[in-house]
Amino acid sequence: MRLVIKIGTSTLTHATGRLNLRRFHALCETISDIKNAGHEVILVSSGAIAMGVGKLGLPARPDDVPTKQAAAAVGQCELMDAYDRSFGQYHHTVAQLLIAREDVAVPERRENFSNTLFRLLALRALPIINENDTVSTAEFGIGDNDTLAAIVAQSAQADLLILLSDIDGLFSADPHRDANAKRIPVVEAITDDIRKLAGGKGTPNGTGGMATKVHAAEICGCDMVIANGFHPSVLYDILEGKDVGTRFVREKK
Ligand code: GLU
Protein backbone atom coordinates (compact mmCIF):
# COMPACT_ATOMS: atom_id res chain seq x y z
CA MET A 1 0.00 0.00 0.00
CA ARG A 2 1.05 3.56 -0.61
CA LEU A 3 0.18 5.58 2.51
CA VAL A 4 0.16 9.30 3.16
CA ILE A 5 0.31 9.98 6.91
CA LYS A 6 -0.31 13.50 8.19
CA ILE A 7 0.91 14.30 11.68
CA GLY A 8 -0.52 17.33 13.42
CA THR A 9 1.35 19.71 15.69
CA SER A 10 -0.59 18.52 18.75
CA THR A 11 0.65 14.97 18.17
CA LEU A 12 4.30 16.00 17.80
CA THR A 13 4.82 18.62 20.46
CA HIS A 14 4.05 19.42 24.07
CA ALA A 15 2.12 22.60 24.83
CA THR A 16 5.53 24.28 25.32
CA GLY A 17 6.29 23.77 21.62
CA ARG A 18 9.09 21.38 22.47
CA LEU A 19 9.11 17.95 20.87
CA ASN A 20 7.14 15.23 22.64
CA LEU A 21 10.10 12.86 22.50
CA ARG A 22 8.36 9.74 23.70
CA ARG A 23 5.59 10.02 21.12
CA PHE A 24 7.95 11.23 18.38
CA HIS A 25 10.23 8.22 18.74
CA ALA A 26 7.27 5.82 18.92
CA LEU A 27 5.93 7.36 15.71
CA CYS A 28 9.24 7.10 13.88
CA GLU A 29 9.68 3.48 15.04
CA THR A 30 6.15 2.51 13.95
CA ILE A 31 6.47 4.21 10.56
CA SER A 32 9.88 2.58 10.02
CA ASP A 33 8.34 -0.81 10.80
CA ILE A 34 5.48 -0.15 8.37
CA LYS A 35 8.06 0.67 5.69
CA ASN A 36 10.04 -2.46 6.59
CA ALA A 37 6.85 -4.47 6.06
CA GLY A 38 6.85 -3.25 2.45
CA HIS A 39 4.47 -0.30 2.46
CA GLU A 40 5.41 3.00 0.85
CA VAL A 41 5.01 5.96 3.19
CA ILE A 42 4.88 9.71 2.62
CA LEU A 43 4.70 11.92 5.70
CA VAL A 44 3.06 15.32 5.83
CA SER A 45 4.33 16.87 9.03
CA SER A 46 3.21 19.99 10.81
CA GLY A 47 5.04 21.36 13.81
CA ALA A 48 7.51 23.80 12.24
CA ILE A 49 5.99 26.92 13.78
CA ALA A 50 5.48 25.32 17.20
CA MET A 51 9.04 24.01 17.31
CA GLY A 52 10.41 27.39 16.22
CA VAL A 53 8.46 29.02 19.03
CA GLY A 54 10.00 26.55 21.47
CA LYS A 55 13.53 26.93 20.12
CA LEU A 56 13.43 30.73 19.98
CA GLY A 57 12.00 30.80 23.52
CA LEU A 58 9.02 32.93 22.47
CA PRO A 59 6.43 33.31 25.23
CA ALA A 60 3.53 32.18 23.01
CA ARG A 61 2.63 31.34 19.41
CA PRO A 62 2.96 34.68 17.56
CA ASP A 63 -0.01 36.27 15.80
CA ASP A 64 1.90 38.34 13.27
CA VAL A 65 2.87 36.77 9.96
CA PRO A 66 6.63 37.67 9.88
CA THR A 67 7.28 36.19 13.35
CA LYS A 68 5.30 33.06 12.43
CA GLN A 69 7.35 32.71 9.26
CA ALA A 70 10.60 33.26 11.17
CA ALA A 71 9.53 30.63 13.72
CA ALA A 72 8.71 28.20 10.89
CA ALA A 73 12.16 28.74 9.34
CA VAL A 74 13.84 27.88 12.66
CA GLY A 75 11.45 25.07 13.55
CA GLN A 76 11.54 23.33 10.16
CA CYS A 77 15.32 22.73 10.56
CA GLU A 78 14.84 21.41 14.06
CA LEU A 79 11.99 19.16 12.92
CA MET A 80 13.90 17.65 10.00
CA ASP A 81 17.00 17.18 12.13
CA ALA A 82 14.89 15.24 14.65
CA TYR A 83 13.30 13.12 11.88
CA ASP A 84 16.66 12.47 10.26
CA ARG A 85 18.18 11.27 13.51
CA SER A 86 15.19 9.19 14.60
CA PHE A 87 14.52 7.49 11.24
CA GLY A 88 18.28 7.10 10.75
CA GLN A 89 18.33 4.76 13.77
CA TYR A 90 16.15 2.41 11.72
CA HIS A 91 18.18 2.97 8.52
CA HIS A 92 15.54 5.01 6.73
CA THR A 93 16.54 8.05 4.68
CA VAL A 94 14.37 11.14 4.93
CA ALA A 95 13.81 13.80 2.24
CA GLN A 96 12.36 17.27 2.83
CA LEU A 97 9.82 18.78 0.42
CA LEU A 98 8.44 22.25 1.15
CA ILE A 99 5.45 23.12 -0.99
CA ALA A 100 3.72 26.41 -1.73
CA ARG A 101 0.36 26.86 -3.44
CA GLU A 102 1.85 27.59 -6.88
CA ASP A 103 3.72 24.28 -6.74
CA VAL A 104 0.46 22.37 -6.91
CA ALA A 105 -1.70 24.93 -8.75
CA VAL A 106 0.51 25.23 -11.84
CA PRO A 107 0.26 21.92 -13.80
CA GLU A 108 3.96 21.70 -14.81
CA ARG A 109 5.11 22.40 -11.27
CA ARG A 110 2.67 19.84 -9.90
CA GLU A 111 4.00 17.29 -12.35
CA ASN A 112 7.58 18.04 -11.24
CA PHE A 113 6.47 17.59 -7.65
CA SER A 114 4.81 14.22 -8.42
CA ASN A 115 7.86 13.07 -10.39
CA THR A 116 10.14 13.84 -7.46
CA LEU A 117 7.81 12.04 -5.07
CA PHE A 118 7.67 8.93 -7.26
CA ARG A 119 11.45 8.93 -7.66
CA LEU A 120 11.98 9.27 -3.89
CA LEU A 121 9.62 6.33 -3.31
CA ALA A 122 11.46 4.27 -5.94
CA LEU A 123 14.70 5.08 -4.07
CA ARG A 124 12.98 3.87 -0.85
CA ALA A 125 13.43 7.27 0.79
CA LEU A 126 10.83 8.73 3.12
CA PRO A 127 9.45 12.03 1.77
CA ILE A 128 8.50 14.45 4.56
CA ILE A 129 6.38 17.33 3.33
CA ASN A 130 5.28 20.61 4.88
CA GLU A 131 3.92 23.83 3.48
CA ASN A 132 6.70 26.32 2.76
CA ASP A 133 5.54 28.56 5.60
CA THR A 134 8.30 31.11 5.09
CA VAL A 135 6.70 32.22 1.81
CA SER A 136 3.08 31.09 2.30
CA THR A 137 0.52 32.67 4.57
CA ALA A 138 -2.87 31.36 5.65
CA GLU A 139 -4.53 33.73 3.16
CA PHE A 140 -2.23 33.13 0.19
CA GLY A 141 -1.09 29.59 0.73
CA ILE A 142 -2.61 26.13 0.88
CA GLY A 143 -3.38 27.18 4.45
CA ASP A 144 -3.54 23.96 6.43
CA ASN A 145 -1.82 20.61 6.36
CA ASP A 146 -5.05 18.55 6.15
CA THR A 147 -5.61 20.08 2.71
CA LEU A 148 -1.91 19.75 1.84
CA ALA A 149 -2.01 16.05 2.81
CA ALA A 150 -5.06 15.49 0.59
CA ILE A 151 -3.32 17.19 -2.36
CA VAL A 152 -0.25 15.02 -1.73
CA ALA A 153 -2.37 11.84 -1.55
CA GLN A 154 -3.96 12.74 -4.85
CA SER A 155 -0.65 13.64 -6.55
CA ALA A 156 0.97 10.43 -5.28
CA GLN A 157 -2.04 8.24 -6.21
CA ALA A 158 -2.05 6.97 -2.64
CA ASP A 159 -4.16 4.03 -1.46
CA LEU A 160 -4.90 5.54 1.93
CA LEU A 161 -4.59 8.91 3.67
CA ILE A 162 -4.30 8.87 7.48
CA LEU A 163 -4.74 12.10 9.46
CA LEU A 164 -3.30 11.76 12.97
CA SER A 165 -4.54 14.40 15.33
CA ASP A 166 -5.64 14.83 18.97
CA ILE A 167 -9.22 13.71 18.30
CA ASP A 168 -10.58 10.17 18.05
CA GLY A 169 -12.50 10.76 14.83
CA LEU A 170 -15.71 12.40 13.65
CA PHE A 171 -18.45 12.43 16.28
CA SER A 172 -22.24 12.56 16.06
CA ALA A 173 -22.02 15.83 18.08
CA ASP A 174 -19.26 17.97 19.57
CA PRO A 175 -17.71 15.59 22.16
CA HIS A 176 -16.46 18.56 24.22
CA ARG A 177 -20.03 19.71 24.77
CA ASP A 178 -22.23 16.63 24.47
CA ALA A 179 -21.57 13.60 26.66
CA ASN A 180 -23.74 11.45 24.36
CA ALA A 181 -21.62 12.21 21.31
CA LYS A 182 -20.68 8.97 19.55
CA ARG A 183 -17.72 8.31 17.27
CA ILE A 184 -18.79 7.59 13.70
CA PRO A 185 -16.72 4.57 12.54
CA VAL A 186 -17.38 4.79 8.80
CA VAL A 187 -18.59 7.58 6.51
CA GLU A 188 -19.79 6.17 3.18
CA ALA A 189 -20.78 9.51 1.63
CA ILE A 190 -19.98 13.10 2.52
CA THR A 191 -23.43 14.62 2.79
CA ASP A 192 -24.45 18.08 4.00
CA ASP A 193 -25.20 16.50 7.40
CA ILE A 194 -21.61 15.26 7.64
CA ARG A 195 -20.29 18.69 6.63
CA LYS A 196 -22.51 20.26 9.29
CA LEU A 197 -21.12 17.88 11.95
CA ALA A 198 -17.64 19.00 10.97
CA GLY A 199 -18.50 22.58 11.80
CA GLY A 200 -19.39 23.86 8.36
CA LYS A 201 -17.77 26.76 6.60
CA GLY A 202 -16.79 29.77 8.68
CA THR A 203 -16.11 27.81 11.86
CA PRO A 204 -13.16 25.68 10.82
CA ASN A 205 -12.11 25.09 14.43
CA GLY A 206 -15.64 24.39 15.67
CA THR A 207 -14.93 20.76 16.51
CA GLY A 208 -11.16 20.66 16.52
CA GLY A 209 -10.39 21.47 12.90
CA MET A 210 -12.86 18.90 11.52
CA ALA A 211 -13.99 21.02 8.57
CA THR A 212 -10.57 20.89 6.88
CA LYS A 213 -10.41 17.13 7.55
CA VAL A 214 -13.77 16.39 5.94
CA HIS A 215 -12.78 18.60 3.03
CA ALA A 216 -9.56 16.57 2.73
CA ALA A 217 -11.67 13.39 2.43
CA GLU A 218 -13.51 15.00 -0.48
CA ILE A 219 -10.39 15.80 -2.50
CA CYS A 220 -7.82 13.10 -1.63
CA GLY A 221 -9.07 10.54 -4.19
CA CYS A 222 -8.68 7.55 -1.83
CA ASP A 223 -9.98 6.24 1.49
CA MET A 224 -9.09 8.45 4.44
CA VAL A 225 -8.92 7.71 8.18
CA ILE A 226 -8.97 10.30 10.96
CA ALA A 227 -7.46 8.87 14.14
CA ASN A 228 -5.90 9.92 17.42
CA GLY A 229 -2.10 9.99 17.23
CA PHE A 230 -1.75 9.84 21.03
CA HIS A 231 -0.67 6.20 20.70
CA PRO A 232 1.24 5.81 17.41
CA SER A 233 0.42 2.06 17.45
CA VAL A 234 -2.97 3.18 16.11
CA LEU A 235 -1.24 3.03 12.70
CA TYR A 236 -1.00 -0.78 13.03
CA ASP A 237 -4.69 -0.93 14.01
CA ILE A 238 -5.65 1.05 10.91
CA LEU A 239 -3.62 -1.20 8.61
CA GLU A 240 -5.14 -4.29 10.25
CA GLY A 241 -8.63 -2.92 9.60
CA LYS A 242 -9.52 -2.56 13.30
CA ASP A 243 -12.36 -0.28 14.35
CA VAL A 244 -10.46 2.91 15.23
CA GLY A 245 -11.09 6.50 14.23
CA THR A 246 -13.38 7.41 11.34
CA ARG A 247 -12.86 5.92 7.90
CA PHE A 248 -14.16 7.93 4.94
CA VAL A 249 -14.77 5.52 2.12
CA ARG A 250 -13.83 6.90 -1.26
CA GLU A 251 -16.98 7.66 -3.18
CA LYS A 252 -17.29 5.57 -6.33
CA LYS A 253 -17.97 7.97 -9.19
N1 GLU B 1 2.72 24.27 8.34
C2 GLU B 1 2.41 24.51 9.72
C3 GLU B 1 3.60 24.13 10.61
O4 GLU B 1 4.40 23.32 10.24
C5 GLU B 1 1.21 23.71 10.21
C6 GLU B 1 -0.07 23.93 9.45
C7 GLU B 1 -1.18 22.94 9.91
O8 GLU B 1 -0.94 22.18 10.84
O9 GLU B 1 -2.26 22.92 9.33
O10 GLU B 1 3.74 24.61 11.68
- The preferred substitution site among 12, 45, 79, 145 for testing ligand 1, maximizing ligand atoms within 8 Å of CB, is 145
- Domain covering 2-248, topology: Carbamate kinase (3.40.1160)
Q: Which of 32-36, 64-68, 170-174 has maximum average pLDDT?
A: 32-36
The neighbour count for residue 78, using CB atoms within 10 Å, is 17
pLDDT in tens, 185-222: 999 999 998 998 887 543 333 334 889 999 999 999 99
pLDDT in tens, 115-130: 999 999 999 999 999 9
- Report CA(115)–ligand 1 centroid distance (Å): 24
Among 82-91, 118-127, 178-187, the minimum mean pLDDT is found in 178-187
Looking from the CA of residue 212, the nearest atom of ligand 1 is 9
- Report CA(220)–ligand 1 centroid distance (Å): 18
Q: Which of 190, 69, 43 is nearest to 126 (CA)?
A: 43
Alpha-carbon dihedral 161, 75, 124, 24, rounded to 10 degrees? -70
| pTM, to two decimals | 0.94
Report, as an integer, the average pLDDT of 133-162. 90
Residue-level pLDDT at 34: 98
Domain boundary assignment for the chain:
2-248
CA atoms within 13 Å, Cβ hemisphere of 226: 27
Would you say 48 and 29 are in contact if contact means Cβ atoms under 8 Å apart? no
Confidence of residue 174 (pLDDT cuts 50, 70, 90): confident
Q: Which of 40, 39, 224 is nearest to 118 (CA)?
A: 40
Confidence of residue 179 (pLDDT cuts 50, 70, 90): confident
Residue-level pLDDT at 203: 38
Residue nearest (by alpha carbon) to ligand 1 atom 5: 46
Residues with CB under 6 A from ligand 1: 8-9, 46-50, 72, 130-131, 133, 144-145
- Report CA(145)–ligand 1 centroid distance (Å): 6
